[in-house]
Amino acid sequence: MAEEFPFEISPMFEGERIRKDGMFVELAGPKAVGFELVSATDMDEVEDGKFTLIGPDISEMEEGARYPFAMTYKIAGELVEADLESIVERRNHEFQNYIQGMMHLNQRDDIWVRIGKDAIEKGLTSFEQVAKAIMMLFKNELPFIEKVEAVYYTDEAEINKEIESIRDIYTGRDERTRNLHDEDVDTFYGCSLCASFAPTSVCVITPDRIALCGAINWFDGRAAAKVDPEGPQFAIPKGDVIDAESGEYTGVNEVAEKLSSGEYDRIRLHSFLEYPHTSCGCFEVVGYYIPEVDGIGWVDRDFTGTAPNGLQFSTMAGQTGGGKQVVGFLGIGVQYFRSPKFIQADGGWDRVVWMPKMLKDKVSEDIPDYIRDKIATEEDVTDVESLRNFLKDKDHPILERWEEEEEVEKEASAAPQAEFTAPQAGFTASQMQMPTNFAPSAPMVGGGGGNGGVKVILKNAKMSVDRIIIKKLD
């Protein structure tokens, strides 16, 4: 069937990046409005295969320009139910990337699409060609879809007319898991859609932890696994509870070992610093540890500025993604801020010290009252030093950790000092895959002692040391 299209369609084009110089047009993204939505509908309300475009078509677009863009699909079938909408929406992301010369990033009202010049040269002239290919893939790959109809929008006024009601639909989906918690179920769900570009990624979806792409919640995972047990979403029996606080379960660990081909055999679902969830690259928000204040900052895709650690979202996303368990960075979905188990193993909200203003406003209702004003934004601080001062002024709960640290340091200074030569080789920090720019200025305190000695304080570190050499210095 693919021969009728002027482009190739294959999973091998997933991961294809279209850079600015190879781009014909950009659709939606950070600087233009957009969304994607799938709606489960009655059979008689769908005209199978029909496509409608509201706004200018590709052939009418100016090379190098940016346009608003929205995609909606109505799906129907005997097994189609509302819980499947998010799952099919996520497959729109996957299938758009199957098309040679198209790049689709993110989800919901955050989508970012580029069409490459090569695709235009090969004969792509209309969104109808794209929509027909996607509808074909929906019906081929998701047999529960019996009928599908698509409406695409490139007219900004029309998109703006729809977008608030579309956002209400996303919110309604997210609200469903509010009263359901990890302890209430005996099955979690996994998703392998991102394994193609992040092979060791282990994506676990629980009632208290939405997928890090923000697109799939526990109900969505359950519906997808039920209707297509061989598909990318699958059940994960929880097994026994190893530690409820950090969210460690035997069932999740077994799946982690299998999916990561043995690279990881432990995942703590609600931990930031120890055995954290892997991060594939689709995360909506990146968390980053700030050792100077022993706190955690969060930065989302929409923030184009620089975080107090001097890094931008894109740099930190590069450190975080790839399906690794990176201690010091963590990718999450925005809805995870609303979870009562939000990084509870590491102090939850008491550990949060910085967020971009827009993100903070977005989740403001879910930030506990006592700490809301104590979390800095780019309007309050510009670097780690000003962050430290802000936290002191606001009497942020993180100060208690500083006091504990000072106590430990005092005790360490009072203890008899032994000369210590750190091993030059064979020094491995298992589970501590520190990013290259992970500045350990707070945990490693230099210059201690009056005669040039160095005091090393390692917190939350697990290490294996092959050899320690203790030498008497002349």
Confirm or reject binding of residue 236 to ligand SF4 (CB under 6 A).
Answer: no
> How much is the CA Rg of the chain, to the nearest whole Å?
25
Nearest CA-CA partner of 48 in 85, 76, 78, 79: 76
Cβ proximity to ligand SF4: between 55 and 214 the closer is 214
Which one of the spans 15-23, 207-215, 256-264, 409-417 is the region binding ligand SF4 (CB under 6 A)?
207-215
| Cβ closest to ligand SF4, residue 284 vs residue 294 | 284
CB closer to ligand SF4 out of 261 and 451: 261
88 touches ligand SF4 by CB under 6 A: no
Question: Is residue 142 involved in binding ligand SF4 (CB under 6 A)?
Answer: no
Q: Does 215 bind ligand SF4 (CB under 6 A)?
A: yes
By CB under 6 A, which span of 115-123, 205-213, 368-376, 440-448 interacts with ligand SF4? 205-213
152 beta partners: 53, 71
Task: Give the residue with the Cβ less far from ligand SF4, 70 or 211.
Answer: 211
- Binding to ligand SF4 (CB under 6 A) within 290-349 occurs at none
Shortest Cβ 14–ligand SF4 spacing (Å): 11
| Minimum CB distance to ligand SF4 smaller for 119 or for 211 | 211
Tell me how far apart the alpha carbons of residues 375 and 348 are, in angstroms, rounded to a whole number: 13
- CA count, 13 A, side-chain hemisphere, 280: 26
Q: How far is the CB of 276 from ligand SF4 (least distance, A)?
A: 15
How many other CB atoms sit within 10 Å of the CB of residue 103?
23
The token duo for 241 is 């509870």
Least distance (Å) between residue 234 CB and ligand SF4? 11
Residues 4-43 that bind ligand SF4 (CB under 6 A): none
Q: Which is nearer to ligand SF4, 213 or 299 (CB)?
A: 213
**Span of 62-70, 212-220, 285-293, 360-368 interacting with ligand SF4 by CB under 6 A:** 212-220
Of 353, 330, 193, give the one whose Cα is nearest residue 271: 330
Q: In whole angstroms, how close is the CB of 319 to ligand SF4 at the nearest point?
A: 17
Find the length of the chain.
Answer: 474
Distances (CA, A) of 63 to 25, 131, 203, 246: 6, 21, 38, 50
Report, in Å, the least distance between residue 166 CB and ligand SF4: 19
193 contributes a contact to ligand SF4 by CB under 6 A: yes
Q: Which of residues 151-170 bind ligand SF4 (CB under 6 A)?
A: none
- Shortest gap between Cβ of 254 and ligand SF4 (angstroms)? 18
What is the rounded distance in angstroms from the CA atom of residue 260 to the CA atom of residue 254?
A: 10
Q: Which is nearer to ligand SF4, 99 or 203 (CB)?
A: 203
Long-range contacts of 121-125 (CB under 8 A, 24+ apart): 122/6, 122/7, 123/6, 123/7, 124/6, 124/7, 124/58, 125/6, 125/57, 125/58, 125/59
Taking CB under 6 A as the rule, does residue 90 contact ligand SF4? yes
Q: Per CB under 6 A, does 282 bind ligand SF4?
A: yes
Residue 191 binds ligand SF4, judged by CB under 6 A: yes
Rounded Cα distance between 77 and 309, Å, is 50
By C-beta, is 194 or 391 nearer to ligand SF4? 194
Among 212, 343, 352, 442, binds ligand SF4 (CB under 6 A): 212
213 binds ligand SF4 (CB under 6 A): yes
Count the Cβ atoms, other than its own, within 10 Å of residue 60: 10
> What distance in Å separates the CA atoms of residue 320 and residue 299, rounded to the nearest whole number?
12
Site string for ligand SF4, 374-413 (x = CB under 6 A): ----------------------------------------
- How many whole angstroms separate alpha carbon 50 and alpha carbon 128? 9
Is there binding between residue 211 and ligand SF4 (CB under 6 A)?
yes
How far apart are alpha carbons 318 and 301 in whole angstroms?
12
Q: Which of 27, 70, 194, 224 binds ligand SF4 (CB under 6 A)?
A: 194
If the CB atoms of residues 309 and 320 are measured against ligand SF4, the closer one turns out to be 320
- Cα–Cα distance measured from residue 394 to residue 127, given in angstroms and rounded to the nearest whole number: 53
What is the Cα–Cα distance from 432 to 275, expressed in whole angstroms? Answer: 9
CB of 216 to ligand SF4, least distance (A): 4
CB 235: neighbour CB atoms within 10 A?
17
- Contact between 252 and ligand SF4 (CB under 6 A)? no
Question: Please, which residues have CB within 8 angstroms of residue 299's CB and are 6 or more apart in sequence?
Answer: 285, 286, 288, 307, 312, 313, 316, 355, 356, 359
- Residue 280 is a binding residue for ligand SF4 (CB under 6 A): yes
Q: Residue 205: how many CA atoms within 13 Å on its side-chain side?
A: 30
203 near ligand SF4 (CB under 6 A): yes
Report long-range pairs for 359-362 (Cβ below 8 Å, ≥24 apart).
Answer: 359/285, 359/298, 359/299, 359/300, 359/302, 359/303, 359/334, 362/334
Q: How many CB atoms lie within 10 A of CB 349?
A: 19
- Site residues, ligand SF4 (CB under 6 A): 90, 191, 193-194, 203, 211-213, 215-216, 280, 282
